[in-house]
Amino acid sequence: MRPEHRRWKVTAKSSKAGRKPEIYRLRLYVAGQTPKSLTAFNNLKQICKEHIPNFEIEVVDLLQRPQLAHQDQILAVPTLVRKLPPPIRKIIGDLSDTERVLVGLDLRAKGRAGAP
């Protein structure tokens, strides 16, 4: 039996200013363990490890918990939802375009390729 939810949490100990960095709470909606869902999850883990010092990933399998699709108005899978920090943002697809994901998560401004 596979789990309905998986959670991954990575927390930075402190920032240079001595405060904890802002946490990113991300929810990835998938439909089973399809190649596209697994690719999206692996891409998301890699992006988070490289670009976000403090994050949580929650994976929601809509085949196991379809009622949760209504909560975030999910119409396609895989879909990534940034719950925190506000505002909520959504990205649909396998997250293979890192630059698009960073812009979608508001970690990088549009047109600033190569910016940290």
Delineate the domains of the chain, giving CATH numbers in brackets. Answer: 5-104 (3.40.30.10)
> Average per-residue pLDDT in the chain?
84
pTM of the model: 0.79
- The answer to whether the peptide bond before residue 87 is cis (omega within 30 degrees of 0) is yes
pLDDT tens-digit readout, 76-113: 999 999 999 999 999 999 999 999 999 999 987 555 44
Whether the per-residue pLDDT at 13 is higher than 50: the answer is no
Average pLDDT over residues 15-43: 86
Beta bridge partners of 6: 59
Cα separation values, 14 from 3, 10, 26, Å? 32, 12, 20
87 or 12: which leads in pLDDT: 87
